[in-house]
Amino acid sequence: MFVLANFINAIAVVLRIAIEVEIVVIIIHSILSWFPFLRYHPINQFLEALANIVLWPLKRIIPPIGPFDITPFIGILLLIFIDSFLVSTLFDLAIKLR
């Protein structure tokens, strides 16, 4: 059972790192969106592609409020919830299996 516990623990660690990286990408992409001359820069396009993994489904559901797009805020809250619930549950499951 310890092998399964270690496997679940490794999945939880990788998932937590991926969520943290995605949060940082969303924040950096949101800041870079304030600078229109960086819109077509390759790094900005790469960050936009990574941020849209979470933001694109939310943009189809949540319309912009005037000139403001609140989907990055909602996306970060959703990622924090997933981290708090799912990753913590996986860590607890790994501990119980040992």
What tens-digit pLDDT sequence spans the chain (98 residues)? 889 999 999 999 999 999 999 999 999 999 999 998 988 899 999 999 999 999 999 999 998 898 889 999 999 999 999 999 999 999 999 999 98
Assess if residue 32 is contained within a domain.
no
What's the whole-model pTM score?
A: 0.90
Assess if residue 67 is contained within a domain.
yes
Write down the number of H helices and E strands in the chain: 4, 0
Residue numbers of the domain that contains 61? 2-15+42-97
HSE-up (13 A, CA, CB side) for residue 82: 16
Q: Which residues pair with 68 in a beta bridge?
A: 65
Assess if residue 21 is contained within a domain.
no
* Phi, psi angle pair for 68, to nearest 5°: -100, 135
Distance CA(84)–CA(42), nearest Å, equals: 33
Assess if residue 55 is contained within a domain.
yes
Helix (H, G, I), strand (E, B) or coil at 39: coil
